[in-house]
Amino acid sequence: MKTPLCDLSYCELETLVKQSGEPKYRADQLAKHIAAYDGFEMFTDLPKRCTATLENAYCDRPLTERTRVESSDGAVRYLFETQDGDLVESVFLPHGYGNSVCVSCQVGCAMGCVFCASGYYGLKRNLSAGEILAQALYIARDKKDDGGVRKIVMMGSGSPLANYDNTIKFIRMITSPKSLNIGMRSVSVSTCGIPDKIIKLADDGFTGTLSLSLHAATDEKRKKIMRVANSYTVREIIGAMREFFDKTRRRVVIEYILIDGFNDTDGDISELKKLLKGLCCHVNLIPLNPTDGCDLKPCSKKHAYAFCDKLHGAGISATVRRSMGSDVAGACGQLKNRTVEQQRKKS
Ligand code: SAH
């Protein structure tokens, strides 16, 4: 497998150019082609000797589109193939105020959440920073005429903070004026909660939105649906979220899937109230999207809104999340799993 050219930050491109004895401005030429997700055949402003050397050592497009599914609401789910044949899922979400792209950061996931399709086959490997970036670059190119991409959410398959170095490199690259120049405030990272990495993210200058997949307010309950809950307590994780807020002054988001009869009672409201006391946060209530192989049920829409009202009553800011693209294999990993199953049946 060749190193993706888009794995190189602008600084690394400058070093490459310098080491090759080429003039400095070549770094800008390369950065432009990378940002446009151009293939080497489009690097026509560079001398042949340069592209030949690049082609030997690097790969121009580490992801190719395998299939796409378009939703009636305009969301598009892309399934990409890596150089070594792994499948990676990303989503384009159209918004009047700026389109967003949801990217994956790992092939599979190790966190073991029972409701989530991404972890169904476990973790295969981390994606490199360039492979994460390539998802956004490809979609920005594909959707250029629809307003491009203004917002990035790391809410696809995989756990960004478990692939920390590539995640932070990706964030630095995508927010660079030499790349897509996405505003840092327009980057969201979702995590199932790795306390030391949450604090490191703040120390490394991340000032986007940090979302925590909490889903249950007590360790006892959380352990029943998220294997990672055996490693860290909710108190430790919320402690790290408080520290993140103190360092960045950015309100954090608490993601909370509503599962019928499991975490949607008045008792859960009081546990949430105790746990989140004094934390500057917004609770995003997510109606469970049923996945194959998991028999948990979503609560009714009416109950979700009633739960939301009760959170307001407890002094907690909350909304029920509007789902997009649920007619095209809604939650992360579902399109990939279906494609893998179809492949298995065929062979
Ligand atoms: N891997 C990241 C992002 C996951 S996707 C993380 O662990 O936080 C974004 C949110 O959707 C997470 O809170 C995740 O727990 C949730 N989610 C996963 N599967 C879901 C499903 N089937 N229905 C509803 N929400 C789901």
Specify the CATH number for the domain of residue 23: 1.10.150.530
| Å from CA of 72 to ligand 1 middle | 22
The mean pLDDT value of the chain amounts to 94
Number of domains in the chain: 2
Looking from the CA of residue 155, the nearest atom of ligand 1 is: 3
pLDDT confidence of residue 8 = 98
For residue 146, pLDDT over 60 is answered with yes
| Å from CA of 255 to ligand 1 middle | 8
On whether both 261 and 143 belong to a single domain, the answer is: yes
Any bridge partners for residue 119, and if so which?
none
Any bridge partners for residue 70, and if so which?
76
Looking from the CA of residue 190, the nearest atom of ligand 1 is: 8
pLDDT confidence of residue 294 = 85
Pocket of ligand 1 (CB under 6 A): 111, 113, 115-116, 155, 158-159, 190-192, 213, 255, 257, 286, 288-289, 291, 331-332
Cα–Cα distance measured from residue 270 to residue 268, given in angstroms and rounded to the nearest whole number: 5
Q: Give the CATH number of the domain where residue 91 resides.
A: 3.20.20.70
On whether both 260 and 307 belong to a single domain, the answer is: yes
118 SS3 class: helix
Q: How many residues does the chain have?
A: 347
| Å from CA of 214 to ligand 1 middle | 10
Looking from the CA of residue 159, the nearest atom of ligand 1 is: 1
| Å from CA of 332 to ligand 1 middle | 7
On whether both 266 and 340 belong to a single domain, the answer is: yes
On whether both 251 and 328 belong to a single domain, the answer is: yes
On whether both 207 and 69 belong to a single domain, the answer is: yes
Closest CA to 129 of 8, 280, 286, 269: 8
Indicate the burial class of 117 (C-beta count within 10 angstroms; 0-12, 13-18, 19 or more): buried
Residues 207-227: pLDDT tens digits?
999 999 999 999 999 999 999
**Residue 152 backbone class (left: φ over 0; alpha: ψ -120 to 50; beta: rest):** beta
Residue nearest to atom 19 of ligand 1 (CA): 116
Cα–Cα distance measured from residue 311 to residue 337, given in angstroms and rounded to the nearest whole number: 35
Closest CA to 158 of 87, 92, 236, 222: 87
| Å from CA of 60 to ligand 1 middle | 31
For residue 340, pLDDT over 80 is answered with no
Residues 273-315: pLDDT tens digits?
999 999 999 999 999 988 888 889 999 999 999 999 999 999 9
340's CB contacts (< 8 A; 6+ apart) are 87, 121
Most ligand 1 atoms within 8 A of CB, residue of 115, 285, 299 to mutate: 115
Looking from the CA of residue 255, the nearest atom of ligand 1 is: 13
Residues designated as active site: 89, 332
Residue ending a domain, among 39, 59, 79, is: 59
pLDDT band (50, 70, 90) for residue 173: very high
Domain that includes residue 32, residue range? 3-59
Residue nearest to atom 6 of ligand 1 (CA): 191
Closest CA to 199 of 145, 166, 240, 139: 240
Closest CA to 186 of 154, 164, 159: 154
Residue ending a domain, among 42, 59, 76, is: 59
